[in-house]
């Protein structure tokens, strides 16, 4: 059902407003893999993971993360076949654990996707500014470029999803292509110190700060679960969504493990950590220059920028659809559920998300925060830990839902795989929390990491949003039962 702009507000008796479309497996995979932004990860997370994480062993963490995500996906995909709703995490949590937990998860998901989007806005603003200045152009502050990107993303997000998918598809092919060409060039030339599998040795995996490294590795997977968010716009969603989910996880895992290994080999295990620490923002560009020449250097520099643009565009689309679903649930203003009569897009939600991103960028600029060391790193940490908690809650919800309903009796799909995925997620969360002070730079006078003010603020934000959602649901249940009942329409909770 498509609701035209200017239609009457939703009431308790009005059917939820829905999007429509015919996206296939390839289009949806493009959307979610673009959200991971291959060159944002290769040019940003990989150098930072090597420099401040577990060094040479960082590529192995992509493999570990991929295995955990695949185990999680088994139960996640099982839910997509029985829950015909586009809300993904918060919908499934609602069906499995009840409305209050579903709403708590919804707010945590909104926080996660918003913070990762703003984090990349800050990073791309920095890269554009440095590139323009390096070419002899004016030295314009990072936040000016970031706000310009926010505006362009807002225009595309306002229009039909097919336009975004086409833009993302083209950028994704170019990103993956240049990264693979660079990695193959390293492989065929033998790297700086020869080729080896030292990156996957146990001693290297646990070296340095694996908690920080694991944070950057898992961050590369944020967005793959958005396959379910696009359910209403998918062709044959019962088949398209599961296929797109598995394809996205496998593609992300193989690509990042191979390319990050190639970056280590390009510099050599004995030199790569020092090189990454000296210039994390320029490590991959320097690698391309060394193995692909000046043309490759220019190409990868440009594509890192366009890749980050693709990332924020994809997350913009995801957040606007979360807001639409929450509006249909009656917990956000009804206007956020408006669907444009021509573009068939959640245009009001898109405008609100554009305003949110712009306001946060302006705030960080006023505070004088460093766009990479603070804005990108801190917000990426919040988003990564948030996504792990979201997946953990969803895994529990999957198990609870199928144990209660008996709609799917396959033990591997509904119990074993979700439990194994949950164990992996909780282990990852513990490792990241322990290493969180190092991520945000909380150290005592002697240089030892401590749970300081910044750490507690970041962790407090992660806790505050779902707590607010849970309390809102409890309040609605007591004071506005009609609205509370509407949560079922978007979140579930049978």
- pLDDT at position 99 is 85
Minimum mean pLDDT among 17-26, 311-320, 347-356: which range? 17-26
List Cβ neighbours of 410 (8 Å cut-off, separation of 6 or more).
78
Instruction: Tell whether the model's pLDDT for residue 359 goes beyond 50.
Output: yes
Q: Give me the pLDDT at residue 171, please.
A: 72
The whole-number pLDDT of residue 1 equals 33
Does residue 488 carry a pLDDT above 70?
no
Structure tokens at 350: 């898109």
Mean pLDDT estimate for the chain: 83
Q: State residue 447's pLDDT score.
A: 84
Predicted confidence band at 314 (pLDDT cuts at 50, 70, 90)? confident
Residue 9 has pLDDT above 60, yes or no: no
Single out the residue of 383, 28, 310, 361 nearest to residue 157, CA to CA. Answer: 310
Higher local confidence (pLDDT), 328 or 150: 150
pLDDT at 345: 63
Residue 13 confidence (pLDDT): 41
CA dihedral sign of residues 128, 131, 136, 140 = positive
Among 14-28, 295-309, 331-345, where is mean pLDDT lowest? 14-28
In the numeric block, which tokens belong to residue 346? Answer: 């959640």
Mean pLDDT of 365-371: 93
What CA–CA distances, in Å, run from 71 to 75, 86, 104, 424, 469?
Answer: 8, 21, 24, 9, 28
CATH class of 25-490: mainly alpha
Tokens 């040479």, located at residue: 56
CB-count burial class (<10 Å; 0-12, 13-18, 19+) for 370: middle
Q: What is the pLDDT of residue 143?
A: 95
Domain boundaries, the chain: 25-490
Q: Which pLDDT value is given to residue 260?
A: 96
Inform me whether the pLDDT recorded for 444 exceeds 60: yes
- How confident is the model over 47-57, as pLDDT tens digits? 989 998 999 99
Q: Retrieve residue 311's tokens.
A: 């990332």
Query: What's the pLDDT tens digit per position in 214-271?
Result: 999 998 888 777 676 665 555 666 667 788 888 888 988 999 999 999 999 999 999 9
pLDDT above 70 as % of the chain: 83
The pLDDT of residue 34 = 63
* pLDDT tens-digit readout, 394-419: 999 999 999 999 888 889 999 999 99
CA distance 264 to 199: 8
pLDDT confidence band for 140 (50 / 70 / 90): very high
pLDDT for res 87 = 53
Could you give the C-alpha distances from 220 to 68, 180, 195, in angstroms and in order? 13, 17, 25
Highest mean pLDDT among 70-79, 327-336, 454-463: 454-463
Question: Which of 181-195, 341-355, 396-410, 463-477 is least confident?
Answer: 341-355
Higher pLDDT, 304 or 71: 71
Cβ partners under 8 Å of residue 27, min gap 6:
165, 169
Q: Does residue 38 register a pLDDT over 60?
A: yes
Which among 415, 391, 380, 399 has a CA at the least distance from the CA of 69? 391
Q: Is the pLDDT of residue 83 over 80?
A: no
Residue 5: band (very low, low, confident or very high) from pLDDT cuts 50, 70, 90: very low
Helix 283-328 / helix 142-158 crossing angle, nearest 10 deg = 50
User: pLDDT at position 234, please?
Assistant: 57
pLDDT of residue 92: 84
Closest CA to 295 of 191, 182, 188: 182
Residue where the block lists tokens 């510099």: 267
First-to-final CA distance of the chain: 23
Q: Does residue 419 or residue 29 have the better pLDDT?
A: 419
Section 93-113 average pLDDT? 88
User: Which of 156-165, 167-176, 268-277 bottoms out in mean pLDDT, i.e. has the lowest?
Assistant: 156-165
Query: What's residue 25's pLDDT?
Result: 66
| Model confidence band, residue 12 (pLDDT cutoffs 50, 70, 90) | very low
pLDDT value at residue 219:
86
């Amino acid at each position: 059902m498509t609701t035209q702009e200017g239609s009457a507000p939703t009431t308790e008796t009005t059917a939820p407003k829905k999007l429509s479309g015919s996206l296939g497996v390839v289009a949806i995979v493009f959307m979610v893999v673009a959200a991971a932004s291959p060159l944002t990860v290769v040019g940003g997370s990989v150098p930072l993971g090597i420099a401040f994480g577990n060094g040479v062993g960082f590529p192995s963490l992509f493999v570990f993360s991929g295995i955990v995500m695949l185990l999680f996906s088994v139960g996640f995909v099982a839910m997509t076949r029985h829950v015909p709703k586009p809300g993904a995490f918060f919908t499934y949590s609602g069906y499995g654990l009840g409305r209050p937990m579903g709403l708590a998860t919804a707010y945590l998901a909104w926080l996660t996707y918003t913070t990762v989007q703003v984090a990349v806005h800050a990073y791309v603003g920095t890269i554009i500014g440095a590139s323009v200045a390096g070419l002899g152009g004016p030295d314009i502050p990072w936040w000016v470029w970031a706000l310009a990107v926010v505006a362009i993303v807002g225009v595309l997000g306002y229009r039909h999803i097919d336009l975004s998918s086409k833009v993302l598809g083209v950028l994704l092919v170019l990103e993956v292509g240049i990264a693979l060409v660079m990695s193959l060039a390293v492989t065929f030339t033998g790297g700086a110190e020869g080729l080896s599998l030292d990156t996957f040795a146990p001693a290297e995996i646990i070296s340095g700060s694996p908690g920080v490294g694991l944070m950057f590795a898992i961050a590369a997977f944020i967005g793959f679960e958005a396959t379910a968010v696009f359910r209403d716009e998918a062709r044959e969603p019962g088949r398209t969504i599961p296929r797109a989910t598995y394809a996205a996880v496998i593609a992300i895992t193989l690509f990042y493990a191979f390319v990050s290994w190639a970056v280590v080999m390009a510099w050599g295990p004995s030199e790569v950590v020092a090189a990454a620490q000296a210039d994390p923002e320029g490590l991959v560009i320097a690698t391309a220059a060394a193995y692909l020449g000046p043309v490759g250097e220019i190409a990868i520099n440009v594509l890192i920028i366009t890749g980050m643009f693709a990332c924020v565009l994809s997350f913009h689309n995801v957040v606007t659809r979360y807001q639409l679903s929450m509006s249909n649930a009656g917990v956000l203003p009804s206007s956020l559920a408006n669907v444009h009569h021509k573009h068939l897009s959640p245009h009001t939600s898109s405008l609100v998300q554009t305003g949110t991103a712009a306001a946060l960028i302006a705030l960080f600029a006023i505070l004088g925060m460093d766009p990479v060391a603070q804005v990108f790193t801190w917000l990426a940490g919040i988003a990564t830990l948030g996504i792990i908690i979201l997946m953990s809650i969803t895994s529990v919800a999957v198990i609870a839902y199928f144990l209660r309903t008996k709609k799917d009796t396959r033990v591997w799909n509904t119990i074993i795989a979700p439990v194994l995925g949950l164990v992996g997620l909780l282990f990852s969360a513990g490792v990241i929390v322990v290493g969180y002070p190092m991520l945000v730079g909380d150290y005592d006078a002697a240089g030892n990491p401590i749970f300081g003010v910044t750490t507690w603020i970041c962790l407090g934000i992660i806790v505050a949003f779902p707590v607010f959602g849970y309390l809102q649901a409890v309040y609605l249940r007591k004071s506005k039962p009609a609205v509370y009942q509407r949560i079922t329409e978007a979140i579930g909770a049978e």
